[in-house]
A and B are shown apart, each in its own frame.
Chain A
Amino acid sequence: MTDSKYFTTTKKGEIFELKAELNSDKKEKKKEAVKKVIASMTVGKDVSALFPDVVNCMQTDNLELKKLVYLYLMNYAKSQPDMAIMAVNTFVKDCEDPNPLIRALAVRTMGCIRVDKITEYLCEPLRKCLKDEDPYVRKTAAVCVAKLHDINAQLVEDQGFLDTLKDLISDSNPMVVANAVAALSEIAESHPSSNLLDLNPQSINKLLTALNECTEWGQIFILDCLANYMPKDDREAQSICERVTPRLSHANSAVVLSAVKVLMKFMEMLSKDLDYYGTLLKKLAPPLVTLLSAEPELQYVALRNINLIVQKRPEILKHEMKVFFVKYNDPIYVKLEKLDIMIRLASQANIAQVLAELKEYATEVDVDFVRKAVRAIGRCAIKVEQSAERCVSTLLDLIQTKVNYVVQEAIVVIKDIFRKYPNKYESVIATLCENLDSLDEPEARAAMIWIVGEYAERIDNADELLESFLEGFHDESTQVQLQLLTAIVKLFLKKPTETQELVQQVLSLATQDSDNPDLRDRGYIYWRLLSTDPVAAKEVVLAEKPLISEETDLIEPTLLDELICYIGTLASVYHKPPSAFVEGGRGVVHKSLPPRTASSESTESPETAPAGAPSGDQPDVIPAQGDLLGDLLNLDLGPPVSGPPLAASSIQMGAVDLLGGGLDSLMGDEPEGIGDTNFGVPPAAAAAPARLGAPISSGLSDLFDLTSGVGTLSGSYVAPKAVWLPAMKAKGLEISGTFTRQVGSISMDLQLTNKALQVMTDFAIQFNRNSFGLAPAAPLQVHAPLSPNQTVEISLPLNTVGSVMKMEPLNNLQVAVKNNIDVFYFSTLYPLHVLFVEDGKMDRQMFLATWKDIPNENEAQFQIRDCPLNTEAASGKLQSSNIFTIAKRNVEGQDMLYQSLKLTNGIWVLAELRIQPGNPSFMDLELSLKCRAPEVSQHVYQAYETILKN
């Protein structure tokens, strides 16, 4: 007799039959029926119609039946909220049961019923259970708080459950502590700015004690929580490390990795001369290696993390190369990761072994893997100079195999090796040329053509080879076409006599018969160069190229440091900071490695210790309004935004004059770009015209700047530019910007930077429908192409007449930017104060009437913390952002400001701001907002906060 019978009934009257059985008098029959219902539910059948009948079975002493009914309730209560109320009484009764198992079960189940009405009844039983004498009930109740918070956050805060939860961190039972930490962490994730997990040396000590005794899962939560703590000096860091180290021997790999995270982070604070530092390094290697003997899925996550660790501290695993050797039946995702780490660990000492392995891999079956292995050989050559020769000979061996994709891949890498070590391995060119015909992939063809062009003087039949490519010129991909054009020009400059015809042919093909502007432009430039000044042409085309960098694929150090803080999380699997992919408008707490405190002296002298601490004590919490993309700032690979944007653009106005004469002289200096692809337009020439769009708007804003300088109140607060679209997500285009409001007009100040190697043109911008109908009032004008490494500032005027759609969060703006490369999307949050209109001052009487008129439910209260402003300063600041003070009153030493503002869509917001002047210890402002559309309150509050704090 098995449960499969529950699945078999599919005939029509099934529900009816079940109903009858559920109402049967016989206990046994009832239970069987409930089982059938659950089975149907599991496979996705809708059995919600049976709700009342199933709930009726709930009043029973039979624990199994009770559990089954609970299961059912959790699934369907949402769709039948009124019915679910019927179950409440039983729940409340069960919460008082003498058996702790039943008490826990009841409170657990109640938390899973996501119905508002039920949650109200849950509060009292939950409060009791949080203080229950039995730790099993307490630990279940702790999780229940997290559940409740998910359903109704406000309720949890109002009922003071968060404080009770915080108290549970000091509970005597380690399991309760672990669950309290887990619940708090989850709640904190949705409230990044709140200081829920306020860690201090005492609570850390409690956590460390609980760590030893709680379950493996609890250890994970506690370790992840510990990782957020910032020890005050290296001594504390060391003592925490010492107590965490035993976790490295845990059987659960998640515990191990979380422990590694804590150690990697706190190690940063330890002095390298310390004996303990060396011991710790040694202790880290074995557990990491052990992770690799686990199941492949675990291996994958471990490898992604090891990849980071190896980049941060290569010394840990430098002797463990062999464990990363690939087994032929590893899943492909494990193979590729292992390969990557092998290259990162490659050094002179082990290169022979690595190369032998890579060569072995190059004969495997999986094509992707083989390609990557061949590429890896090239990377080894570039990384370890002493091995270059051996790498080249290995590659030559592989070319001899004549396996098509191996040959092509090998040629692509050999090109890179030539770029790194010019004039060293040209002897192999002959072998390469033999394989010319078998190349059918653009990348390989382009690489081969580059080699022929670069070394044209040593290849006797270079002209013939290139000519053979020229026949099918129009069928080639752009990459090959561009390369061919450059190669033939190089050839011509090297052997002018025999190749005149060829060069003319390619120039006419490129300039006359091609639709591709890049190709045409490049063709014209060569043509003019060659016809006006061949000597200059030689200098340009045959200029000495910069060597390619050793490790182009390293993660940028600040990002790496951030990722180290996220070891063991999804961020570490994706190698992106959570802000780059975490969903929703929640701000993300920005983590950074602790600063290294001075070694032994710092502990001796008390003055130096606090010096390192302040930066640690205040984690970089970006205010929610600073938006989720805000902390991508850290990613900014380029130099920081220099000076105020207005000043910069006015200077560039002058540069326009230089346009005419400067061109020729500038071009000579431009070396051939990396990878030979950025030939389109020399950057310097393009730079000037790119500014053409700026003058009009910047001139205007200059005027405004003047007026504001005189002291009138125009121009609201402008946030510094934040990176909205990082270059790595938009094929090299980086966009940063901010929103401004000046004399009634809103604009979006953008800064476009080209970080690719390719010229960007044809910019356009579009907004998705948004809450306030923001739309560009004029097209995005970037007049000239944007060359590599060039930045352009644009002020895009906006209006609010676009189509309206409510967004979540309200101030979310989704933007699409197009250029010649692709279309990119990003979203940003605009500060609400740009929408505050100039005529937002309400009449006094009107204010009073409206304040009374708006129902009290619509009133929202906020606190603006640590804002030491007096009344005048605050009022002045707010007024410049169109928040108008209507009346002022002094009540019991507190200043009350009554203020009003109006949004572009006509919504009025009334505010009462309470300030306590002259009380330096209490610097919090209290803000009450009333509005007919209460959803804007949160954002208005954020605007207040931003304005007042800047």
Chain B
Amino acid sequence: MIHSLFLINSSGDIFLEKHWKSVVSRSVCDYFFEAQERATEAENVPPVIPTPHHYLLSVYRHKIFFVAVIQTEVPPLFVIEFLHRVVDTFQDYFGVCSEPVIKDNVVVVYEVLEEMLDNGFPLATESNILKELIKPPTILRTVVNTITGSTNVGDQLPTGQLSVVPWRRTGVKYTNNEAYFDVVEEIDAIIDKSGSTVTAEIQGVIDACVKLTGMPDLTLSFMNPRLLDDVSFHPCVRFKRWESERILSFIPPDGNFRLLSYHVSAQNLVAIPVYVKHSINFRDSSSLGRFEITVGPKQTMGKTIEGVIVTSQMPKGVLNMSLTPSQGTHTFDPVTKMLSWDVGKINPQKLPSLKGTTSLQAGASKPDENPTINLQFKIQQLAISGLKVNRLDMYGEKYKPFKGIKYMTKAGKFQVRT
């Protein structure tokens, strides 16, 4: 099982170590540093590194490497999933997950890690339970603790840990009972030069924020459940009911959680809400190359596209770009060669465009590769797959909850080749 955990920052310092079994010397990380050196960028460090006596499995998030050390045959996905869970927990506890924050809260971090694993076996990874065991730090609590001498470690056995619904604590009380569901869809797509879709798929999630008193039993049904043929559920969802009736039936955890995630595959036709018209060419150093990008709406079902950001990694040979946007702001970083254009909203009457010239370094030959354009955008009140919630019902409790459902479509990995 998981032996030890090392947290390493981008400059290669180990700033936290935690051992669940015997202590593993931090020199084991030397193998990691070697691999890190070989990989040009932090993202490219391979996640599984063998060493003579151990295996190092790592994830890279928030500019921190979380490196787990294992000694025996352990499913690597189990370890990696767990590491991601650790990061999520930190984020949940401290708002952000960064080196200074972790150092600021090192005692809580240590306590949390101790609760998450026992001898390398996962113990409590549900945020609900953890928070009952170890209360997250807040300014108020720190002040109260200093004055009254109370602690942020709970002294009650988290009851949920033993019940049949381990994800929910008992005795929850709210004055306003509310349940909100966000249907968020991300489009991953590759669009080729000519504008036709190479591949497009939708990754959707339904995130919930449920603040309901007692033990509510919810059912959620869809207008078109047929769309959901590839779904992953939160453990609270009763799978049998879904299989037979295509209805989500569950006792929700308290607070924020992800009810389900789904995937609409490349085989279904996926509507692409934007298009990019581009004309990018480079000339040898003597003259200037031309650069022009226009962004426009396509199948948006009448909704506005907002929060549009266009980024593109220019070839190394590009020295500078002089561009004028018709709206929004743009930057070009001559060091990283990253072009970024914050477009904002797209007005279908007046399409935003970015025009200008590019100049290459003196003596540099025409670049071999074409830059790929990365697109980010948001569309409110639309689930691009067409998924719609039909109704939400509550059983088991008497009060009438307030219910809300929001839809949003975002760009995931949306790439346009030029």
Do A and B pair up? The answer is yes
A residues with a Cβ closer than 8 A to B are: 1-4, 6-7, 27-28, 31, 35, 38-39, 42-44, 62-65, 67-68, 71, 75, 78, 99-101, 108, 111-112, 114, 134-136, 140, 143-144, 146-147, 150, 173, 175, 179, 182-183, 186, 189, 213, 215-217, 220, 224, 246, 249-254, 256-258, 286-287, 289-290, 293, 295-298, 300-302, 319-320, 322-323, 325, 327-329, 331-333, 356-357, 360, 363-365, 401, 403, 568-571, 573-574, 578, 581-583
CB<8 Å pairs between A and B, sample of 15: A1-B142, A3-B106, A65-B151, A67-B111, A71-B110, A78-B22, A300-B48, A301-B47, A323-B265, A327-B413, A363-B370, A568-B76, A569-B73, A570-B48, A581-B50
B156-164, B273-281, B339-347, B386-394 - the one binding chain A: B156-164
B78-86, B282-290, B299-307, B349-357 - the one binding chain A: B78-86
Query: Are B105 and A357 within 8 A (Cβ)?
Result: no
Which B151-172 residues have C-beta < 8 A from chain A?
151-157, 161-162, 164, 166
Binary interface profile of B, 92-111, with partner A (CB < 8 Å = 1, else 0)? Answer: 00000000100111111011
Query: Are A217 and B122 within 8 A (Cβ)?
Result: yes
Query: Are A71 and B114 within 8 A (Cβ)?
Result: yes
Interface membership of B369, Cβ < 8 A:
yes
Known contacts A249-B231, A332-B44: A64-B152 contact under CB 8 Å? yes
Which B1-45 residues have C-beta < 8 A from chain A?
1, 14-23, 26, 39, 43-44
CA distance A286 to B263 in the complex (A): 8
Q: What A residues does B267 contact at CB under 8 A?
A: 319-320, 322
Closest to B101 in A: A2
Interface membership of B417, Cβ < 8 A:
yes
Q: What A residues does B53 contact at CB under 8 A?
A: 583
Known contacts A140-B118, A331-B43: A297-B58 contact under CB 8 Å? yes
Contact of B77 among A289, A568, A578 (CB under 8 A): A568
Query: Are B119 and A112 within 8 A (Cβ)?
Result: yes
Query: Are A134 and B23 within 8 A (Cβ)?
Result: no
Q: What A residues does B47 contact at CB under 8 A?
A: 296-297, 300-301, 333
Known contacts A64-B153, A403-B368: A331-B203 contact under CB 8 Å? no
CA distance A296 to B45 in the complex (A): 11
Query: Are A253 and B157 within 8 A (Cβ)?
Result: no
Contact of B81 among A144, A189, A298, A320 (CB under 8 A): A298
Query: Are B73 and A295 within 8 A (Cβ)?
Result: no
Interface membership of B75, Cβ < 8 A:
yes
CA distance A846 to B81 in the complex (A): 63
CA distance A649 to B351 in the complex (A): 85
Query: Are A250 and B157 within 8 A (Cβ)?
Result: no
B177-185, B232-240, B377-385 - the one binding chain A: B232-240
Known: A147-B119, A183-B121, A217-B82. 7 other contacts (CB 8 A): A3-B108, A147-B21, A251-B235, A287-B230, A289-B263, A569-B74, A569-B76
Most buried by B among A44, A189, A295: A295
CA distance A189 to B104 in the complex (A): 40
CA distance A364 to B369 in the complex (A): 6
Known contacts A217-B121, A251-B233: A571-B44 contact under CB 8 Å? no
Chain B interface residue count, Cβ-Cβ cutoff 8 angstroms: 103
Q: How far is the CB of B110 from chain A (nearest CB, A)?
A: 6
Query: Are A64 and B151 within 8 A (Cβ)?
Result: yes
CA distance A301 to B166 in the complex (A): 29
Q: How far is the CB of A302 from chain B (nearest CB, A)?
A: 7
* Chief secondary structure at chain A's binding surface: helix
Contact of A251 among B23, B123, B232 (CB under 8 A): B232
Known contacts A101-B156, A217-B125: A301-B111 contact under CB 8 Å? no
Interface membership of B72, Cβ < 8 A:
yes
Query: Are B46 and A300 within 8 A (Cβ)?
Result: yes
Query: Are B78 and A254 within 8 A (Cβ)?
Result: yes
Q: What A residues does B83 contact at CB under 8 A?
A: 297
Q: How far is the CB of B260 from chain A (nearest CB, A)?
A: 8
Query: Are B199 and A43 within 8 A (Cβ)?
Result: no
Query: Are B232 and A67 within 8 A (Cβ)?
Result: no
Closest to B164 in A: A213
Interface membership of B258, Cβ < 8 A:
yes
Q: What B residues does A189 contact at CB under 8 A?
A: 72-73
CA distance A570 to B48 in the complex (A): 9
Q: What B residues does A38 contact at CB under 8 A?
A: 106-107, 110
Q: How far is the CB of B232 from chain A (nearest CB, A)?
A: 4
B residues with a Cβ closer than 8 A to A are: 1, 14-23, 26, 39, 43-44, 46-48, 50, 53, 55, 57-61, 71-78, 80-84, 100, 103-108, 110-111, 114, 118-119, 121-123, 125-126, 142, 146, 149, 151-157, 161-162, 164, 166, 188, 190, 192, 198-199, 201, 203, 229-235, 239, 243, 258, 260-261, 263, 265-267, 315-316, 368-370, 372, 374, 413, 415, 417
Query: Are A325 and B198 within 8 A (Cβ)?
Result: yes
CA distance A734 to B359 in the complex (A): 58
Contact of A3 among B104, B233, B266 (CB under 8 A): B104
Known contacts A224-B75, A573-B76: A327-B190 contact under CB 8 Å? yes
CA distance A298 to B368 in the complex (A): 32
Query: Are A289 and B265 within 8 A (Cβ)?
Result: yes
Query: Are B151 and A44 within 8 A (Cβ)?
Result: no
Q: What B residues does A136 contact at CB under 8 A?
A: 157, 161-162
Known contacts A215-B166, A293-B263, A297-B58: A363-B368 contact under CB 8 Å? yes
Q: Which 8 A-B pairs have the closest CB atoms?
A: A286-B230, A64-B151, A64-B153, A2-B104, A297-B47, A254-B77, A217-B122, A322-B199
CA distance A583 to B243 in the complex (A): 44
Q: What A residues does B231 contact at CB under 8 A?
A: 249
Query: Are A179 and B121 within 8 A (Cβ)?
Result: yes
Closest to B237 in A: A249
Q: How far is the CB of B276 from chain A (nearest CB, A)?
A: 15
CA distance A583 to B1 in the complex (A): 15
CA distance A31 to B19 in the complex (A): 22
Known contacts A135-B162, A290-B263, A295-B84: A186-B50 contact under CB 8 Å? no
Closest to B165 in A: A213
Query: Are B75 and A254 within 8 A (Cβ)?
Result: yes
CA distance A569 to B100 in the complex (A): 35
Known contacts A67-B111, A249-B232, A251-B258: A28-B44 contact under CB 8 Å? no
Contact of A290 among B77, B154, B232 (CB under 8 A): B232
Q: How far is the CB of A7 from chain B (nearest CB, A)?
A: 6
Contact of B103 among A7, A140, A256, A298 (CB under 8 A): A7
Q: How far is the CB of B352 from chain A (nearest CB, A)?
A: 23
CA distance A319 to B268 in the complex (A): 12
Q: How far is the CB of B27 from chain A (nearest CB, A)?
A: 11
Q: What B residues does A182 contact at CB under 8 A?
A: 1, 121
Q: How far is the CB of B155 from chain A (nearest CB, A)?
A: 4
Query: Are A301 and B73 within 8 A (Cβ)?
Result: no
Query: Are A215 and B230 within 8 A (Cβ)?
Result: no
Q: What A residues does B261 contact at CB under 8 A?
A: 251, 290
Known contacts A143-B121, A363-B369, A403-B368: A333-B198 contact under CB 8 Å? no
CA distance A99 to B159 in the complex (A): 12
Q: How far is the CB of B220 from chain A (nearest CB, A)?
A: 16
Known contacts A63-B155, A357-B198: A301-B374 contact under CB 8 Å? no
Most buried by B among A44, A64, A320, A333: A64
Query: Are A42 and B149 within 8 A (Cβ)?
Result: no
Closest to A134 in B: B162
Q: What A residues does B114 contact at CB under 8 A?
A: 67, 71
Known contacts A108-B118, A323-B201, A365-B315: A4-B103 contact under CB 8 Å? yes
Q: What B residues does A101 contact at CB under 8 A?
A: 155-157
Q: What B residues does A570 contact at CB under 8 A?
A: 48, 55, 73-74, 76
Q: What A residues does B22 contact at CB under 8 A?
A: 78, 114
Q: How far is the CB of A258 from chain B (nearest CB, A)?
A: 7
Q: What B residues does A325 contact at CB under 8 A?
A: 190, 198-199
Query: Are B72 and A39 within 8 A (Cβ)?
Result: no
Query: Are B157 and A7 within 8 A (Cβ)?
Result: no
Q: What A residues does B155 contact at CB under 8 A?
A: 63, 99, 101
Q: How far is the CB of B62 from chain A (nearest CB, A)?
A: 12
